[in-house]
């Protein structure tokens, strides 16, 4: 398998949703917008997602499921797909990382890693 043929890039933008959060009840809600882009040479479909969400107490939530936001986007080379989802933490700071299971048109199944990113209330990062 030529790794350059199967290459998915993932960009993340996060924000704290103050209006949905309740710090007194240890409820901190974050939105994250993901942009997935097919930087390879072969069209591929996103089949499954796998997330590890860790709060500042070290509590880990593992999330697995089909597709993203109810879709299994099909990306031709150069195409992108953007979606927004959310996470609820018990602490004002946390992190997420994971991967997308992809299936390319040439029959190759591969994982697109999602590098760790931080969820934090503005001003809480030291």
pLDDT digits (tens, 9 = 90+) for 95-124: 999 999 999 999 999 999 999 999 999 886
pLDDT on residue 4? 75
Answer whether residue 90 shows pLDDT above 90: yes
35-64: average pLDDT: 97
Structural domain spans, the chain: 3-116
Whether the pLDDT of residue 70 is over 90: the answer is yes
Q: Is residue 22 predicted with pLDDT exceeding 70?
A: yes
Tokens standing for residue 90: 């018990």
What's the rounded Cα separation, in Å, for the pair 31 and 96?
Answer: 12
Q: What is the DSSP letter of 4?
A: G
E-strand ranges in 1-126 read: 8-16, 28-38, 44-55, 60-66, 74-75, 80-89, 93-104, 109-120
**What are the Cα distances from residue 32, in Å, to 3, 65, 96?**
28, 17, 10
Domain 3-116: CATH class, spelled out = mainly beta
Q: What is the pLDDT of residue 123?
A: 83
């Amino acid at each position: 398998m030529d790794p350059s043929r199967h290459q998915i890039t993932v960009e993340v933008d996060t924000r704290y949703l103050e209006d949905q959060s309740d710090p007194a009840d240890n409820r901190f809600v974050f939105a994250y917008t993901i942009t997935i882009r097919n930087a390879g040479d072969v069209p591929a479909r996103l089949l499954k997602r796998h997330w590890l969400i860790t709060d500042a107490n070290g509590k880990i939530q593992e999330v697995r499921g089909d597709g993203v936001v109810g879709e299994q986007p099909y990306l031709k080379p150069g195409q992108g797909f953007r979606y927004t989802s959310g996470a609820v933490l018990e602490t004002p700071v946390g992190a997420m990382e994971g991967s997308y299971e992809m299936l390319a048109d040439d029959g190759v199944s591969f994982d697109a890693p999602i590098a760790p990113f931080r969820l934090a209330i503005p001003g809480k990062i030291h």
